[in-house]
Amino acid sequence: MGRASRWAAPALSVLLLLLFLGVWHAATLPTAGQQVVDAEYAKLVGAAAATGQKTAFPSPADLGAKLWQHLKEPFYDRGPNDKGVGVQLAYSLARVLAGYFLAALVAVPVGFLIGMSPTVYRALDPFIQVLKPISPLAWMPLALFTLKDSSISAVFVIFICSLWPMLINTAFGVASVRREWLNVAKTLEVGPVRKAFRVILPAAAPTIMTGMRISIGIAWLVIVAAEMLVGGTGIGYFVWNEWNNLSITNILAAILAIGLVGMVLDQMLARLTKLVTFPE
Amino acid sequence: MGNGQLGRRAGVVTIPDSPFPIHAVEAMSDPLIRVEGLAKRFAGRDGAHATVFENIHFSIEPGEFVCLIGHSGCGKTTILNILAGLEPATDGYVFVGGREISGPSLDRAVIFQSHALMPWLTVMGNVGFAVSSRWRDWDRARVRAHCQKYIDLVTLAGAENKRPAELSGGMKQRVGIARALAIQPKMLLMDEPFSALDALTRGMLQEEALRICAETSQTVFMITHDVDEAILLADRIILMTNAPNAKIAEIVVNTLPRNRNRHDMHRHPHYYRIRNHLIEFLVDRSRAFDEESAASGYDPRHPPLVRPGLAGDSPAPEHSIPARPPTAAKPLVAVVK
């Protein structure tokens, strides 16, 4: 039973994938009959697709070939509109990490201070509640106007969207450190700095890390949209550019890459969270 | 019934050849802890003040083990927190070694009911955190060596690198005891330290507490609602009446010899007299103490010091003890918890 259940889930996953690929493959098989289409449309989408031998949507094999091509040469750079997926992902990752770490640098200390004082907590709460639900992209025009640089504006958008989960979780984690641990520190006449680093920080660390994990997820969601807006480089721009090129295959490849990178980022933070979590 | 009790108490108090002189506490010049007129009040909804307790006077001598017994809600834990410096009193003063306290101090170590260990630290880490807080200039090796001594004292050798989550309830509380003792405080404050444990573990830890206190001649103030625990451990037992307006009804001197133990303590003739006295207080007198005290010239500054253990040796008639057989008394403790 134990052995069976261990392999059941992965086997089912593979089966579902094969089923999905099979349906996809069947759906994109070239149709037999000739089709009469508008000449302009035929020019636009390519003769093969227009005449019905093949749909414009790529088959799994097309995507596989494209992925292989990207994997063989991920970091090529042939001018502003022709860069490898690896290069574009690296641009996006650099922006995300820059904005994310800047946000952590602000959110964790500020959240700590907010969490330590119930008065400050209550005083700042209305501001946080109003600022938190604002779509980070709504800040974009403001950032472009004040920062006057599209790339820095994208980093700012990441900063803004990663800030709130980290800030709120840090404040909550610090505010809900168990009273008894603080009492222990009090009876041991522990100073404020030692108390912050030896008692409050380890006690709040799991909550803080949960906030950081939520933040990296949101940041990775937002970067695609932000780069579609600011253009130039990045995986978001790549997707938009390939839409303009009408290369659905490239778009699919990029979507897959975005998903995989997002998963890796999330798993890394999950590992870190596990490291600081303590069993009660 | 009030008359019978008064008669018995009077009989106890007037024993001439008592080993403990009456008002011994006042006679000694320098108690370690002196509590004067302590009170705690809360502002009620209608602006009136709800008084939990008031006019609390008592003192603790160096090396003495004092238990405080009373029903839930009478402010026992609040009194302990005030002594620890964790909570302010509405009124009154606490003096330690003649100086008024102004907050928590390493002189007064607290053993919490919920053990309050830090789950992200090992046993050594928990004790070490306290030790390095006490002696900030000690190096790592010295802290470790000092911790090891106290971990050995509570017989936890071998578990130094375990986290609290890997320990049983009894072991956790041992770590709490080691952490409190390791800072070598002038006194220990224990808030129902064994109440969350099963009966077997509790008994073992009580005996260990007795042994450790004898070895280190530690001064202890402990809160409990377990009558047997109080008789086993305490030199004096402070009885508190019910809230609101809780006060110290009397202070019972434990006349059992100090080398008592859990196994044959109950064979001593004083044992059931003290036990019945305490249970009778918890069941009946703690509720109606105001009526009783009005007739007896009760003075909260000097709550009567009684020795029910010697009651049988005095002319006080045995039938003044209510007709409750000792065996029937046991479940009553559970009821009053």
Please report, for the domain that includes residue A261, its CATH number. 1.10.3720.10
Q: Same structural domain for residues A173 and A271? A: yes
Predicted confidence (pLDDT) at residue B28 exceeds the cutoff of 50: no
CA distance linking residue B288 with residue B283, whole number of Å: 10
Of the listed ranges A116-125, A238-247, B143-152, B211-220, the one predicted with least confidence? B211-220
A62 inside domain? no
Confidence at residue A51, expressed as pLDDT on a 0 to 100 scale: 58
Q: What is the mean pLDDT of chain B?
A: 81
Nearest-CB residue to B86 (from A186, A205, A280): A186
A61 inside domain? no
Across the range B307-332, mean pLDDT stands at 52
Give B84's contacts in chain A (Cβ within 8 Å): 183, 187
Give B183's contacts in chain A (Cβ within 8 Å): 188
Q: State pLDDT tens for residues B57-115.
A: 999 999 999 999 988 888 889 999 999 999 999 999 999 988 898 889 999 999 998 88
Confidence at residue A52, expressed as pLDDT on a 0 to 100 scale: 54
Q: Same structural domain for residues A135 and A258? A: yes
Q: Same structural domain for residues A90 and A51? A: no
Residues A186, B183: C-beta atoms closer than 8 Å: no
Q: Same structural domain for residues A36 and A97? A: no
B86 Cα to chain A: minimum distance (Å): 7
Give A280's contacts in chain B (Cβ within 8 Å): 119, 165
A15 inside domain? yes
Confidence at residue B332, expressed as pLDDT on a 0 to 100 scale: 40
What confidence tier does B258 reach under pLDDT thresholds 50, 70, 90?
confident
Confidence at residue A1, expressed as pLDDT on a 0 to 100 scale: 52
Percent of chain B with pLDDT over 70: 83
A126 inside domain? yes
A182 Cα to chain B: minimum distance (Å): 9
CA distance linking residue B274 with residue B221, whole number of Å: 19
A79 inside domain? no
Q: State pLDDT tens for residues B153-163.
A: 888 999 999 99
Q: State pLDDT tens for residues A16-74.
A: 999 999 999 998 887 665 566 677 777 776 655 555 556 678 899 999 999 999 998 88
Query: Two tokens at A201?
Result: 């920080």
Contact B251, B303 (CB under 8 A): yes
Residues B86, A180: C-beta atoms closer than 8 Å: no
Which domain covers residue A189, as residue numbers?
A: 85-275
Q: What is the pTM of this model?
A: 0.80
A39 inside domain? yes
What confidence tier does B323 reach under pLDDT thresholds 50, 70, 90?
very low
Instruction: Tell me, yes or no, if A274 comes closer than 8 A to chain B by beta carbon.
Output: no
Consecutive H or E run containing B248: strand B248-253
Instruction: Tell me, yes or no, if B129 comes closer than 8 A to chain A by beta carbon.
Output: yes
Instruction: Tell me, yes or no, if A199 comes closer than 8 A to chain B by beta carbon.
Output: yes
Give A187's contacts in chain B (Cβ within 8 Å): 84-86, 104-106, 108-110
Q: Same structural domain for residues A98 and A213? A: yes
A90 Cα to chain B: minimum distance (Å): 37
Question: Which residue, B138, B141, B167, is CA-closest to B154?
Answer: B167
Give B112's contacts in chain A (Cβ within 8 Å): 180, 183-184
Q: Same structural domain for residues A124 and A186? A: yes
Q: Same structural domain for residues A165 and A46? A: no
Of the listed ranges A99-113, A129-143, A189-203, B14-28, the one predicted with least confidence? B14-28
Q: What is the DSSP string of B79-94?
A: HHHHHHTSS--SEEEE
Give A190's contacts in chain B (Cβ within 8 Å): 133
Which range, A101-110, B35-44, B207-216, has the best average confidence (pLDDT)?
A: A101-110
Of the listed ranges A141-150, B41-50, B180-189, the one predicted with least confidence? B41-50
What is the count of structural domains for chain A? 2
Q: Same structural domain for residues A140 and A14? A: no
Contact B3, B296 (CB under 8 A): no
Across the range A155-179, mean pLDDT stands at 95
Across the range A7-13, mean pLDDT stands at 93
Give B85's contacts in chain A (Cβ within 8 Å): 186-187
Confidence at residue A49, expressed as pLDDT on a 0 to 100 scale: 58
Using the 3D structure, point to which of A37, A55, A73 is the last residue of a domain. Answer: A55
Q: Same structural domain for residues A195 and A249? A: yes
Instruction: Tell me, yes or no, if A198 comes closer than 8 A to chain B by beta carbon.
Output: yes
Confidence at residue A47, expressed as pLDDT on a 0 to 100 scale: 59
Q: Same structural domain for residues A135 and A228? A: yes
Nearest-CB residue to A278 (from B84, B119, B130): B119
Q: Same structural domain for residues A12 and A103? A: no
Predicted confidence (pLDDT) at residue A180 exceeds the cutoff of 50: yes
Q: Same structural domain for residues A182 and A96? A: yes
Q: By CA distance, what is A177's nearest residue in B?
A: B118
Predicted confidence (pLDDT) at residue A258 exceeds the cutoff of 60: yes
Residues A280, B119: C-beta atoms closer than 8 Å: yes
Query: Two tokens at B45?
Result: 């909804």
B165 Cα to chain A: minimum distance (Å): 6
Give A188's contacts in chain B (Cβ within 8 Å): 104, 106, 129-130, 133-134, 183
A248 inside domain? yes
A256 inside domain? yes
Confidence at residue B267, expressed as pLDDT on a 0 to 100 scale: 85
Instruction: Tell me, yes or no, if A181 comes closer than 8 A to chain B by beta carbon.
Output: yes
Distances from the Cα of A280 to the Cαs of A82, A207, B127, B159, B275, in angstroms?
53, 14, 18, 17, 38
Give the strands of the sheet with B248-253, arranged side by side: B108-111, B187-191, B219-224, B65-69, B236-240, B248-253, B305-306
Give A279's contacts in chain B (Cβ within 8 Å): 119, 163, 165
A126 Cα to chain B: minimum distance (Å): 28
CA distance linking residue A257 with residue A235, whole number of Å: 9
Residues B116, A194: C-beta atoms closer than 8 Å: no
CA distance linking residue B112 with residue B192, whole number of Å: 7
Q: What is the mean pLDDT of chain A?
A: 90
